[in-house]
């Protein structure tokens, strides 16, 4: 009897929000709009969007009031390169839809890999991640993984979750790789530079061929007499040309980052760099050419033994100081969707190593929205934007901060999740 009740409770708890939409007024909290200075006031939400924001805003009739006195209101946090919802258990291939075979998968859509009832979704949002850029990963030796989408982390179906599809084309730059992990000896092997360079150049030229073909395809399809066969792969790739769709390209070493930037200029792509472990070495150029960077978790090891021990922790501040716009993604280095909830702490580590708190919050909210061209939808507390909001006891960068109310797409969503349920269940073990 008890078990049944617990199960029913569990189902209710873990289901997406029970209401489709309601009018909400968050009253009396310190509002951090991010786009401007903080103030004590009210945020009104209707039909999924923020309608009014300000110190003097009155609660509209019919709105449900949320008392935020003594609390803080932040925009929801964004995981700007994410595989949340695309995999359940890392080691079980059957639950893993992150990576398709093939090298140039322009025709794949992240949304088709999303499992809306994945347990990873409630776990991530419980710590304030309200939306993600879901991106497919290129295959092991592949170059293009597919198209990424902006998703809210709440919805009964993937359609309800989707804010915008085909936001980016996710690519992996063919890097010159002279260090490779050899599983037979379980150690890194260095290969000859010339060979690695030749291999990378060959692949880079192949990518160039794809863009040339896509450019020609676009031109041919634009004419009246079309003899060319329609080709989905080229059609999607063509959208990247002239900046219609963002080219989100991962590269880590200095020379590869520079090569990607050259390539983007050559092909007239609108570039978003992902990874960027050595981006500090090219920070000036990144800033000058307004190329933003989506960084992975900061809590990683320096690659070189002589590098300062805190180097990866300090990378964000080095870039921001140089004028580079940054964001963070749980999948920007290696895919770690289970740890998406830790993103604010990864950024807080950067704060302990030189990044300003203001920049840290922006890098989790407004900057990723701007970088990905979706600042009209998300990223700050401004009228017209999707109502993804956190009502908290403090800064999301501080570990003991609690999220008291979680609003996604204008709906109040529970912070309950599988972990909390298991905790409560076993805590209740007699």
- What are the residues binding other proteins (CB under 8 A)? 88-92, 119-120, 176, 178-179, 181, 183-184, 186-188, 190, 192-194, 196, 253-255, 299-301, 303-310, 338-339, 341-342, 345, 348-349, 351-353, 397-400, 418-420, 422-423, 426-427, 429
Nearer Cβ to other proteins (37/309) = 309
Query: Cβ 374 to other proteins, closest distance in Å?
Result: 28
Query: Cβ 344 to other proteins, closest distance in Å?
Result: 9
Query: Cβ 351 to other proteins, closest distance in Å?
Result: 6
Closest alpha carbon to 392 in 36, 66, 54: 66
CA distances from 296 to 49, 82, 125, 214 (A): 29, 10, 18, 30
Nearer Cβ to other proteins (355/374) = 355
- Burial code (b: 16+ CB inside 10 Å, e: under 16) for 76-115 equals bbbbbbbbbbbbbeeeeeeebbbbbebbbbbbbbbbebbb
CA distances from 86 to 20, 121, 133, 187, 214 (A): 24, 10, 12, 30, 28
What's the CA gap between 252 and 303, in Å, rounded? 11
Query: Cβ 73 to other proteins, closest distance in Å?
Result: 20
Query: Cβ 286 to other proteins, closest distance in Å?
Result: 18
- In sequence order, what are the residues at sequence separation of 6 or more whose Cβ sits closer than 8 angstroms to the Cβ of residue 30? 38, 39, 40, 71, 72, 73
Nearer Cβ to other proteins (205/299) = 299
Query: Cβ 309 to other proteins, closest distance in Å?
Result: 5
331 contacts 295 by C-beta, under 8 angstroms: no
Nearer Cβ to other proteins (106/353) = 353
Nearer Cβ to other proteins (189/208) = 189
Query: Cβ 218 to other proteins, closest distance in Å?
Result: 36
Closest alpha carbon to 295 in 279, 307, 308, 271: 279
Nearer Cβ to other proteins (19/352) = 352
Closest alpha carbon to 388 in 41, 48, 38, 30: 48
Query: Cβ 196 to other proteins, closest distance in Å?
Result: 7
- In sequence order, what are the residues at sequence separation of 6 or more whose Cβ sits closer than 8 angstroms to the Cβ of residue 392? 71, 72, 73, 74, 128, 401, 402, 403, 404
Nearer Cβ to other proteins (106/414) = 414
Nearer Cβ to other proteins (156/188) = 188
Task: Tell me the two tokens of residue 292.
Answer: 């933003």
């Amino acid at each position: 009897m008890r078990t049944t009740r617990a199960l029913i409770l569990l189902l209710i708890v873990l289901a997406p929000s029970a209401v489709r939409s309601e009018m909400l007024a968050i009253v009396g909290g310190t509002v951090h709009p991010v786009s401007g200075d903080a103030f004590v006031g009210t945020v009104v939400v209707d039909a999924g969007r923020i309608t009014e924001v300000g110190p003097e805003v009155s609660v509209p009739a019919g709105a449900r009031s949320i008392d935020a006195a003594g609390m803080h209101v932040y925009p929801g946090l964004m995981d700007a390169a994410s595989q949340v919802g695309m995999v359940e258990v890392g080691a079980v291939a059957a639950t893993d839809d992150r990576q398709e075979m093939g090298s140039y998968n322009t025709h794949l859509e992240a949304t088709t890999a999303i499992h809306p009832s994945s347990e990873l979704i409630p776990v991530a949002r419980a710590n304030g991640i309200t939306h993600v850029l879901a991106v497919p990963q290129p295959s092991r030796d592949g170059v293009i993984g597919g198209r990424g989408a902006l998703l809210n982390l709440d919805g009964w179906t993937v359609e309800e979750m989707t804010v915008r599809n085909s936001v980016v084309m996710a690519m992996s730059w063919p890097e010159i790789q002279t260090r490779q992990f050899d599983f037979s000896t379980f150690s890194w092997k260095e290969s000859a530079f010339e060979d690695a360079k030749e291999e990378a150049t060959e692949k880079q030229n192949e990518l160039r061929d794809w863009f040339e073909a896509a450019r020609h395809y676009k031109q041919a399809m634009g004419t009246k007499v079309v003899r060319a066969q329609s080709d989905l792969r080229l059609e999607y790739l063509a959208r990247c040309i002239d900046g219609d769709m963002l080219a989100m390209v991962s590269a880590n070493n200095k020379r590869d980052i520079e090569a990607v930037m050259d390539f983007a200029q050559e092909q007239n792509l609108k570039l978003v760099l992902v990874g960027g472990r050595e981006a500090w070495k090219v920070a000036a150029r990144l800033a000058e050419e307004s190329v933003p960077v989506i960084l992975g978790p900061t809590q990683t090891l320096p690659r070189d033994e002589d590098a300062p021990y805190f180097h990866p922790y300090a990378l964000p501040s080095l870039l921001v100081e140089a004028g580079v716009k940054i964001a963070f993604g749980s999948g920007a280095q290696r895919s770690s969707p289970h740890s998406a909830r830790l993103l604010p702490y990864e950024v807080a580590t950067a704060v302990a190593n030189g990044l300003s708190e203001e920049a840290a919050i922006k890098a989790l909210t407004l900057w990723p929205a701007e970088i990905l061209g979706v600042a009209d939808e998300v990223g700050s507390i401004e009228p017209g934007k999707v109502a993804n909001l956190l009502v908290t006891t403090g800064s999301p960068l501080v570990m003991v901060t609690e999220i008291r109310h979680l609003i996604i797409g204008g709906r109040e969503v529970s912070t309950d999740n599988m972990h909390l349920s298991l905790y409560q269940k076993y805590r209740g073990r007699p």
